[in-house]
Amino acid sequence: MAVQNVMVIGAGQMGAGIAQVFAQAGFDVKLNDIAEDSLTKGYQGIEKRLDRQIEKGRMTEDDKNQALNNLTTTTNLNEASDRDLVIEAVVENMDVKTSVFQKLDEITPEHAILATNTSSLPITDIAAVTNRPEQVIGMHFMNPVPVMKLVEVIRAIQTSDASFQTIQEATEKLGKTAVEVNDYPGFISNRVLMPMINEAIYTVFEGVAKPEDVDSVMKLGMNHPMGPLQLADFIGLDTCLYIMEILHDGFGDSKYRPCPLLRKYVSAGWLGKKSGRGFYVYD
């Protein structure tokens, strides 16, 4: 099956970014959210990003108009009834996601593939609440979606080879690289990244070095574009804690135990850039 019609559920930063790249690649895209103001904000964000590409000479006004012509917004989930692929990008909560997938299972045509953009929740559990588990898959886009070239394509234990092949081909049409991943806590990206961030936090917690010195070592010594503590601030310390807890619960291994300092910062409301303070202070 070739994917032509796509719906993205959730008009936040990730969902709007996913809708944008599909629209730019020529797919017919519906962006869905339960809140009209979220849809407006998401659509305006897409327009601004496309305008920046024009300013930089990376696309023309015609390219922008064509992408926007491929994109519509809706608060009506029933409009998924003609979609080949639906990608869920709602809040990272299993109850919310399974509720969405149960509804989609009833609404979408039999051939449709249902994908989730979850960064850490088990795809196998999400697939199990549907009557088409072989057509459920993970598509974990990296942030910011229009810039980052990687998509983790995560196979639930039930996912069929045909579903994986379809999603791999659709991902390549976006100009991105699809990496095949099996369904384990954290997949690849967060299983590797989050323990590194957590260990960086431990070095601050134990008084080994200040945050800026830890980041300098990783940037100047390891050639990372951003230090782990600055990156944690940009991701959100609450998100980092949540993923570490998923890893710790999923594997039952003490090496994934969240650093007490991370817990303390989150309890204090120091969540990073979005709250104005994390390991650094932001205006």
Whether residue 138 contacts residue 154, with contact meaning beta carbons closer than 8 Å, is answered with yes
Which entry of 70, 117, 190, 198 is annotated as an active-site residue? 190
Q: Which residue has the tokens 């088990």?
A: 122
Q: Among this protein's residues, is 248 annotated catalytic?
A: no
Which entry of 88, 117, 120, 140 is annotated as an active-site residue? 140
Which entry of 38, 152, 163, 198 is annotated as an active-site residue? 152
Q: Among this protein's residues, is 119 annotated catalytic?
A: yes
Q: For residue 51, what are its two tokens?
A: 């305008």
Which amino acid, 92? E
Q: For residue 237, what are its two tokens?
A: 């310390």
Give whole-number Cα distances, 160 to 64, 83, 111, 130, 202, in Å.
36, 19, 13, 14, 41
Which entry of 119, 120, 163, 198 is annotated as an active-site residue? 119
Beta strand extents in 63-119 (DSSP E only): 71-74, 85-88, 113-116
Q: Among this protein's residues, is 190 annotated catalytic?
A: yes
Contacts of 9 (CB under 8 A, 6+ apart): 15, 32, 33, 77, 86, 87, 88, 89, 90, 100
Give the catalytic positions in this structure: 119, 140, 152, 190
